[in-house]
Amino acid sequence: MRFTVISPEIYTYGAMLIAGILKDAGYDVTLSKDLKAKKGEIVMLSLYSTHHLMSDEMKSFVREQKSLGNTCIAGGPVSAYPEIVLGELDVDAVAVGEGEETVLKIAEYGLSKEIPGLAFRKDGGGVVMTSSAPPADINRPMPLIPPDISQQDIRGASAYIETHRGCIGACTFCQVPRFFGREIRSRELNDIIREVKEFKKMGATRLSVSGGTGSLYQYKDGKFDEDAFVKLLAALAAEMGPKNVSAPDIRVDCITDTILEAIKKYTIGWLFFGFESGSDRILRLMGKGATAEQASEAVAMCRKHGLKVAGCFIVGYPTETKEEYEMTKEFITEHWLDDVFISIAEPIPETPLAKLVLDTPKEKNPTYMPHTGEYKSLKLTESEARSFDLQMHADMYKPALHVVTDEVFNAYLQSARKDGADVRAVTELLFKYKYKYK
Ligand code: SF4
Average pLDDT over residues 124-139: 90
Return the half-sphere exposure (C-beta side, CA atoms, 13 A cut-off) of residue 148: 8
216 lines ligand 1 (CB under 6 A): no
**pLDDT at site 330:** 98
Helices (H) and strands (E) in the chain, counts: 15, 16
What is the structure's pLDDT at 388?
98
For 308-362, the DSSP string reads EEEEEEEE--TT--HHHHHHHHHHHHHH--SEEEEEE----TTSHHHHHHHHS-G
Q: Which residues pair with 370 in a beta bridge?
A: 381
Q: How far is the CA of 328 from the centre of ligand 1 (A)?
A: 19
- Residue 167 CB less than 6 A away from ligand 1: yes
283 lines ligand 1 (CB under 6 A): no
Cα–Cα distance for residue pair 391/52, rounded to 1 Å: 26
Handedness of CA 367, 369, 373, 375 (dihedral sign): positive
**Best substitution site from 172, 173, 174 to test ligand 1's pocket, by max atoms within 8 Å of Cβ?**
174
User: 30 alpha carbon to ligand 1 midpoint, in Å?
Assistant: 32
Given the DSSP bridges, would you call strands 93-95 and 118-121 parallel, antiparallel or unpaired? antiparallel
Q: What is the dihedral of CA 149, 150, 153, 156, to 10 degrees?
A: 130
- The Å distance, Cα 183 to ligand 1 centre, comes to 13
Confidence band of 135 (pLDDT split at 50, 70, 90): confident
Gap between the Cα atoms of 67 and 332, Å rounded:
53
Which of 160, 163, 176 is the pocket-test mutation for ligand 1 (most atoms within 8 Å of CB)?
A: 176
Question: How far, in Å, from the CA of 186 to the mean position of ligand 1?
Answer: 16
Q: Whose CA is nearest to atom 2 of ligand 1?
A: 212
From the CB of 200, is ligand 1 less than 6 Å away?
A: no
Which ligand 1 atom is nearest residue 173's CA? 7
Residue 213: per-residue pLDDT: 86
Residue 211 CA, ligand 1 centroid: distance in Å? 9
Q: Which of 378, 377, 379, 359 is nearest to 369 (CA)?
A: 379
Give the pLDDT of residue 414: 97
Mean pLDDT over each residue of the chain, to the nearest integer: 95
The residue ranking higher by pLDDT, 398 or 341, is 341
> Does 343 contact ligand 1 (Cβ within 6 A)?
no
* Per-residue model confidence (pLDDT) at position 403: 79
Domains along the chain with CATH numbers? 2-129 (3.40.50.280), 149-437 (3.80.30.20)
Residue nearest to atom 6 of ligand 1 (CA): 171
CB neighbours of 333 closer than 8 A, spacing ≥ 6?
Answer: 393, 397
Determine if ligand 1 sits within 6 Å of the CB of residue 214: no
Question: How many angstroms is it from 177 CA to the middle of ligand 1?
Answer: 7
Binding site membership of 176 for ligand 1 (Cβ less than 6 Å):
yes
pLDDT at 130: 96
Q: For 299-342, how does the pLDDT look when each residue is reduced to its tens digit (9 = 90+)?
A: 999 999 999 999 999 999 999 999 999 999 999 999 999 999 99
* Cβ-based burial of 407 (10 A; exposed 0-12, middle 13-18, buried ≥19): exposed
Q: 166-192 pLDDT, tens per residue?
A: 999 999 999 999 899 999 999 999 999
> Does residue 290's CB lie within 6 angstroms of at least one atom of ligand 1?
no
State residue 123's pLDDT score: 87
**Which stretch of 54-68, 242-256, 423-437 has the lowest confidence by average pLDDT?**
423-437
> 212 alpha carbon to ligand 1 midpoint, in Å?
6
How many C-beta atoms lie closer than 10 Å to residue 217's C-beta?
Answer: 25
CA terminus-to-terminus distance, the chain:
41
Q: How many whole angstroms separate alpha carbon 40 and alpha carbon 270?
A: 46
Tens of pLDDT, residues 265-303? 999 999 999 999 999 999 999 999 999 999 999 999 999
Is the shortest distance between the CB of 177 and ligand 1 below 6 Å?
Answer: yes
Tens-place pLDDT, residues 205-238: 999 998 678 899 999 999 999 999 999 999 999 9
CA distances from 381 to 87, 266, 318, 319, 347 (A): 29, 43, 13, 14, 17
What confidence score (pLDDT) does residue 212 get? 75
Residues 399-432: tens digit of each pLDDT: 877 777 899 999 999 999 999 999 999 999 999 9
Q: Judge whether 366 and 320 are in contact, CB under 8 Å.
A: yes
For ligand 1, whether the C-beta of 174 sits within 6 Å is yes
Is-contact 259 298, C-beta < 8 A? no
pLDDT reading at 132 higher than 70: yes
Averaged pLDDT, 24-35: 97
* The pLDDT of residue 117 is above 90: yes
Does the beta carbon of 171 lie inside 6 Å of ligand 1? yes
Q: How far is the CA of 124 from the centre of ligand 1 (A)?
A: 38
Residues of the chain above pLDDT 90, percent: 91
pLDDT higher than 80, residue 436: no
Asked if pLDDT for residue 373 goes beyond 80, the answer is yes
What pLDDT is recorded for position 211? 67
- Rg of the chain over all Cα atoms, to the nearest angstrom: 22
- Residues 31-38 have a mean pLDDT of 97
- CA-nearest residue for atom 1, ligand 1, is 169
> What pLDDT does 300 receive?
98
